[in-house]
Amino acid sequence: MANWKPTVGSRFRALIKGTAYGESVRFKDRWRAFAVWPPNVFALASILLEDSGGYRIAVSPHDGRTWPPDDPNGDWSDRVCAVAEAWRQSVGRGDVPPRVLELGARLAAKRNLPLKELTAPEHWDCCAAVLELLAIADEACIGVGIPSRNHSTQFPIRAEMRLGRYGTLARLSPNVVRVLPKLRTSQAGISVGSLSHHVTAQRSEVRPIWHLAEGLCDPRSMRVNLLVVPWPYVVEANAFREAPSRLRNMDPAKFGFFDFKPAEALNIKQLGNVIDEARRRCEVVDGVVLPEGAIEAHEIDAVQKCLEDRAVPMLVAGVRGDNANYAHLALFYEKKWRLSDQHKHHRWSLDGNQIRQYHLGSSLHPERRWWENIAVRQRELNFVTANGWLTTCHLICEDLARQEPVADLVRAVGPNLVIALLLDGPQLSGRWPARYASVLADDPGSSVLTVTSLGMSLRSWDAQHPRSRVVALWKDARRGLQEISLEREHQALLLTIAAHWTQEWTADGRSDNTSAAELVLSGVEQIAEPQAAVETAGSRSPTQAPAPRSAPPGHRSSRASRRRA
């Protein structure tokens, strides 16, 4: 076993182990059954290229070679697309295009080839076969997992059913590899992801959950309206409370655990009034976003009912609970709510500098490092595809800053919009959220929205940096960073996000025919609860709560980076 080396054949056998494809004795028979389903072939080709480094050959072929190859019968990309279309049409009949069988035969002939030798000049034919198989399988999966795209065959419909049930398009064990839809293709650098437009193969520990929410917003409008409610508007120091230690290996003199429990519950009546005012401005509100830890679990039903009564079909809300911190996703389509809870991947660690920055010394001693009192559970990531131009995912605070293990999955799928729910200070362009948002905006081109509560933003100040009301930050590749403040006497921000079609290219020269959508922030409205509604409710708006007595006036806060656990 010490001399065992992974080979082309061993990777194939590992993929089909435990499946019906492994029952045939001959490679040829196994390949024909395996290749009936294009995502299977994409998974194998992606793994071979990634594990061998063969993807780099697409942009740096051997001397005397070219990629794509010169094709005397016409354009190589056109031929790839023609084979892919024939493949899509043949899926229901159980046939496989001759070109796919021919390329599979090349792999069979090299099944004992060690992967590290796949890129050697003498094995060019095998490496070229893998590169072409990946391209054909990618084109065969065009539009799969993307609502509102016309499907002329049964293959995409069957694949999407599998995606919803198992979290993968491939007919392979998701414990080995997952094939997922892909929205953006990086236009910089070179990786295996540079070679596909439509699907990606992932072996991450993070379990993707894919929501095909067709009809969530109007695809013809090419824009989406999100209402950001930065609750709680006030956070007192005693919202951070010492919790019993759960780990015996931590010295209690140096480490501790804390819970986040703000005193005031979300005002559902006020939320409804704010949504009503936002709808008066723009007619349609497509979603409501609440920052990390904004509500408790028992408030979820009331919030969803408030949204349902006002025809708001999406909620992304930070929820706090006993030993839990998660993002609650609620999608209303086909006359019912679809719900999914995504737990935070990393605990927040408060050090002395942060305790002083947030003025929490009356609750937590600054000489100890305080860890968030939550369980670290199975890593999951929710993707929501609403139409042909909008796919979102959401992260919780630390998950944006701590890139492992979730960042590879986000970059591979390339959602148009990433929403980060934070329990953080002001969202200024010089602080840590802006840096990590810029990473995703650069590669793969996602637009990023970060949101914190007004209460946390106002708690972050010192003598040099007055308080700030910048509760959100937007970053896209086209217009850069935009700080978004909540003005006094207002309770929410209505963000209008517009889609612009853009053309992208794979490293082997295939165009996506301008099917990628880039999202930009096209409008920001300050939303205040109508005065008549305030008087009817008989309560003061939380935004009118007095500031801490020692806080200096002003509107900007510390640009110091928030150190993360």
Q: Quick check: 486 and 458 in contact, CB under 8 A?
A: no
Confidence at residue 562, expressed as pLDDT on a 0 to 100 scale = 33
**Lowest-pLDDT range of 47-61, 237-251, 511-525:** 237-251
3-state secondary structure 184-217: CCCCCCCCHHHHCCCEEEECCCCEEEEEECCCCC
State the virtual CA torsion across 516, 520, 523, 524 in degrees, nearest 10.
Answer: 130
State whether the Cα torsion 212-214-220-224 is positive or negative: negative
| pTM for this entry | 0.91
- What pLDDT band is residue 193 in, cutting at 50, 70 and 90? very high
Identity of residue 93: R
pLDDT tens digits, 392-408: 999 999 999 998 899 99
- What is the average pLDDT value for the chain, to the nearest integer? 90
Task: Name the percent of the chain lying above pLDDT 90.
Answer: 80
Q: Quick check: 197 and 43 in contact, CB under 8 A?
A: no
pLDDT tens digits, 170-183: 999 999 999 999 99
Domains of the chain, CATH where assigned: 8-181 (no CATH), 223-544 (3.60.110.10)
The partner residues of 481 in beta bridges, in order of sequence, read 475
Confidence at residue 24, expressed as pLDDT on a 0 to 100 scale = 57
Confidence at residue 549, expressed as pLDDT on a 0 to 100 scale = 33
**Lowest-pLDDT range of 134-138, 147-151, 166-170, 244-248:** 147-151
DSSP state of 113: -
Confidence at residue 551, expressed as pLDDT on a 0 to 100 scale = 37
Which helix (H) or strand (E) segment is 241 a member of? Answer: strand 240-243
pLDDT tens digits, 489-503: 999 999 999 999 999
pLDDT tens digits, 293-334: 999 999 999 999 999 999 999 999 999 999 999 999 999 998
* Residue positions counted in the chain: 565
Once rounded to an integer, what is the mean pLDDT over residues 252-276? 95
3-state secondary structure 506-519: CCCCCECCCCEEEE
Confidence at residue 545, expressed as pLDDT on a 0 to 100 scale = 42
3-state secondary structure 439-457: HHHHCCCCEEEEECCHHHH
Q: Quick check: 337 and 304 in contact, CB under 8 A?
A: yes
Confidence at residue 315, expressed as pLDDT on a 0 to 100 scale = 98
**Lowest-pLDDT range of 189-193, 343-347, 464-468:** 464-468
Once rounded to an integer, what is the mean pLDDT over residues 281-291? 96
Q: Quick check: 425 and 460 in contact, CB under 8 A?
A: yes
pLDDT at 442 over 50: yes
Confidence at residue 77, expressed as pLDDT on a 0 to 100 scale = 95
Residue 367 burial class via C-beta count within 10 angstroms: exposed 0-12, middle 13-18, buried 19 and up:
exposed
Query: Which residues 6+ apart lie within 8 Å of 547 measured at CB?
Result: 458, 467
| 67: number of Cβ within 10 Å | 20
Distance separating the N- and C-terminal Cα atoms of the chain: 39
Confidence at residue 384, expressed as pLDDT on a 0 to 100 scale = 97
